[in-house]
Amino acid sequence: MNDVIIVGGGPAGSVIGSYLSMAGINNLILESAIHPRPHVGESMVTATTRVFKDIGFLETMEREGFIRKYGAAWHPPARRGEFDIEFGEYPQEGIEQDYTYHVDRSKFDLLLLKHAERLGSKVIQGVHVKEVLFENGYARGVRATMAGQEVDLPCRLVVDASGRNTLLGRQLRLKKKDPIFNQYAVHAWFEGVDKGTGPAADFIHIYFLPVERGWVWQIPITQEITSIGVVAELEVFKQSNLDLAGYFHRHVNFNPDLAHALRNARRINEFKTEGDYSYSMEKFVGNGFVMIGDAARFVDPIFSSGVSVACYSAKFASEQIRHAFETGDFSEAALKPYEVKLRRGVDIWYEFIRLYYKLLPLFTYFIESKKHRLQVLQLLQGEVYERGEAPVLDAMREYIEVVESSESHLFKDHLTSIPIG
């Protein structure tokens, strides 16, 4: 019998498999797809470097030549120009490099899964897990379809790393749709994007759009290929009455810098869409199970937090699982400290994102501010898991309150309608 069955072989599943194998806990990763598989979410924050170093994967990231991401740039919606920030301005303890990575997720996910396998995880791909099996109130295994046969696989603990399929969230009806965010993305890969010259050419670029919560990402996948995605409220897409290509190109032309960057670009794959952007589970743990990564919580990806949350949720959960095996206690109460720690960190991301969307173009004030710049950078690097370490969030709230409370404030029309709580 396996000690742990991990449902899902994406970054969360591969990272927790790696940690558990390193701790001597045998684990089986069941992945429904056959890697390599296409996946959106190609940019990372620097905090992931620490996890890659922990599990011995950092050398692979360097060897494979993924594009190095040294910073981020924001472009206003109505004029040319940009505001830059570099990760090297805020060195992180224990991280010896001032960059993270942009990746081709199909390649990255496969490499990470193979790394977990080398460390000792058993991996079976092409397996559809139908449900988690419970006995006396505890998760005790999974029911899966393998080679056309339905089989029951027992274990002592189940990890749901099923991503946005949210296996346990759906099965136990724990999934709660976010009441505020209902974003929709249309994206594709392009060649011939004019990324400019110098270090900022390989930054992640964010272009503001003059539509409700609208923005565009620009992420270099290789030296030749760039991922471009238009994001706005779902209603913006519905009301446009345009097909994907028409909608995409209409919004690209709203931003002068973006229109310039794409003037000679050529699309090399089909447009894809992403929706259902933000949700959370009522709980992340239960008797005999934990949820990690997108299977637990998915927050709007404006700051490239997805892989970071996947990695750190896997790291935190593995620590609690090790303790559970040491004590023999797999109860919800015993696993709860993991949930408390992760929820605290993700709630900070969520607050930051809500305030960001309220400000949108006005957010650049905090990038330029000598007082707040490093605190913003610390958040962007994914390094904050204690609310008291993020006073800039209070400063953003105060700034919004000043703008909203003045009828004649110059920037009042620049604030969006999003509630900030």
Residue 224 tokens read as: 């030749």
Q: Is residue 220 very low, low, confident or very high in pLDDT (cuts 50, 70, 90)? A: very high
Q: Could you tell me where the beta strands, DSSP code E, fall in 169-211? A: 175-177, 183-191, 204-208
For 306-328, the pLDDT digits (tens) are 899 999 999 999 999 999 999 99
Q: Is residue 71 very low, low, confident or very high in pLDDT (cuts 50, 70, 90)? A: very high
pLDDT, average across residues 366-382: 90
Residue 45 pLDDT: 92
Closest to 292 in 3D by CA, of 100, 14, 2, 3: 14
Rounded Cα gap, residues 205 and 344, in angstroms: 28
DSSP track, 270-333: --EEE----EEES-SEETTEEE-GGGTEE--GGG--HHHHHHHHHHHHHHHHHHHHHHT--SHH
Residue 304 tokens read as: 């490239």
Closest to 87 in 3D by CA, of 358, 304, 293: 304
Q: Is residue 383 very low, low, confident or very high in pLDDT (cuts 50, 70, 90)? A: confident
In terms of phi and psi (left: phi > 0; alpha: psi -120 to 50; beta: otherwise), the region of 413 is alpha
Residue 280 clears pLDDT 70, i.e. is over it:
yes
CB 248 within 8 A of CB 212: no
The angle that helices 105-119 and 11-22 make with each other, rounded to 10 degrees, is 20
Residue 417 pLDDT: 82
Residue 236 pLDDT: 92
Rounded Cα gap, residues 279 and 257, in angstroms: 32
Residue 277 pLDDT: 67
CA distances from 184 to 74, 236, 418 (A): 20, 9, 16
For 116-162, the pLDDT digits (tens) are 999 999 999 999 999 999 999 999 999 999 988 999 999 999 999 99
Residue 416 clears pLDDT 90, i.e. is over it:
no
Q: Is residue 38 very low, low, confident or very high in pLDDT (cuts 50, 70, 90)? A: confident
153-167 per-residue burial string, b: 16 or more CB within 10 A, e: under 16: bebbbbbbbbbebbb
Tell me the average pLDDT of the chain.
Answer: 93
Residue 413 pLDDT: 79
Rounded Cα gap, residues 137 and 157, in angstroms: 12
DSSP track, 212-281: TT-EEEEEESSSSEEEEEEEEEHHHHHHHT--HHHHHHHHHTTSHHHHHHTTT-EE-S--EEE----EEE
Q: Is residue 302 very low, low, confident or very high in pLDDT (cuts 50, 70, 90)? A: confident
For 134-146, the pLDDT digits (tens) are 999 999 999 999 9
Percent of the chain with pLDDT over 90: 73
Residue 389 pLDDT: 84
CB 291 within 8 A of CB 169: yes
Rounded Cα gap, residues 342 and 308, in angstroms: 12
pLDDT, average across residues 256-263: 96
pLDDT, average across residues 278-300: 94
Comparing 353 with 168, the larger pLDDT belongs to: 168
Q: Is residue 42 very low, low, confident or very high in pLDDT (cuts 50, 70, 90)? A: confident
Rounded Cα gap, residues 161 and 309, in angstroms: 12
- DSSP state letter for 360: G
Please give the backbone phi and psi of residue 27, each rounded to the nearest 5 degrees, phi first: -145, 150
Residue 231 pLDDT: 93
CB 330 within 8 A of CB 288: yes
CA dihedral 234, 310, 279, 249 (to 10 degrees): 0
Residue 211 pLDDT: 86
CA distances from 201 to 22, 197, 390 (A): 38, 5, 29
Residue 91 pLDDT: 82
pLDDT, average across residues 55-59: 98
Domain borders along the chain are 183-274, 361-414
CB 202 within 8 A of CB 195: yes
For 178-203, the pLDDT digits (tens) are 888 888 999 999 999 999 888 899 99
Q: Is residue 276 very low, low, confident or very high in pLDDT (cuts 50, 70, 90)? A: low
DSSP track, 112-168: HHHHHHHHT-EEEES-EEEEEEEETTEEEEEEEEETTEEEEEEEEEEEE--GGG-HH
Closest to 390 in 3D by CA, of 362, 365, 355, 359: 355
Residue 19 clears pLDDT 80, i.e. is over it:
yes
Residue 147 pLDDT: 85
Q: Select from 3.30.70.3040, 3.30.9.100, 3.30.420.40, 3.40.190.10 the CATH code of 183-274.
A: 3.30.9.100
In a 3-state reduction of DSSP, which class is residue 398?
helix
Residue 223 clears pLDDT 90, i.e. is over it:
yes
